[in-house]
Amino acid sequence: MDQPGIVSAVSGVLVDKGCNLEDSAMTILQGWFAILLVVSAPDRLSLEELESELSSAARRFDLVVSVRRLGEDPGLHVTASGDPWTISIHGADRPGLVHGITKALADAGGNIVDLSTHLVGSAQSPVYVMTLRAMLPAGEPGEQTASAVRSAAARMGVHCTLHRDESEVI
């Protein structure tokens, strides 16, 4: 269950063991806090030792912890090709909605780089919201991919908006 202090406890163990948090995804899913971390660790720190060090925080917050090695090159320099797009879907919740949209995207050459879903609204009138960041083929093929996703959304009776992401200044 989500509760204050989870990120602080986990990141505290990591910093105490000399680790660096390189990439992360953290969110609350139906009241449960989920974390996925990519961490670089000193060579002297074994997977078993890191998992053991995290066990105190795991017990305190009722976490499931699994430590895995990604390999020598975690892919920091690998990027998906194409143009970045944002896709928003909303409408009535139904089985197969995520599959239908993501299949249309994949079949047309799109690659998902981030996806989140949420139910919003009231219990009497819930709305399913799906937001995707995806790499679509450059140029006209990207427009065709966007059209395929719009068509899939229309067949499933949900509203869809897509737009090419503009360059961001950080």
Query: Over the stretch 10-41, which tens digit does the pLDDT of each residue have?
Result: 999 999 999 999 989 998 888 888 999 999 99
- 83-164, CATH topology level: Alpha-Beta Plaits (3.30.70)
Q: Which of 135, 115, 114, 118 is nearest to 126 (CA)?
A: 118
Class of domain 6-61: alpha beta
Assess contact for 153 and 90: CB atoms under 8 A.
Answer: no
What pLDDT tens digit does each residue of the chain (170 aa) get? 788 899 999 999 999 999 999 989 998 888 888 999 999 999 999 999 999 999 999 999 999 999 998 876 555 545 568 899 999 999 999 899 999 999 999 999 999 999 999 989 888 888 999 999 999 999 899 999 999 999 999 999 999 999 999 765 54
Q: Which of 149, 168, 110, 101 is nearest to 128 (CA)?
A: 101
- Strands 126-136 and 111-121 come out as antiparallel
Tell me, yes or no, if the two domains 6-61 and 83-164 fold the same way. yes
Domain ranges of the chain: 6-61, 83-164
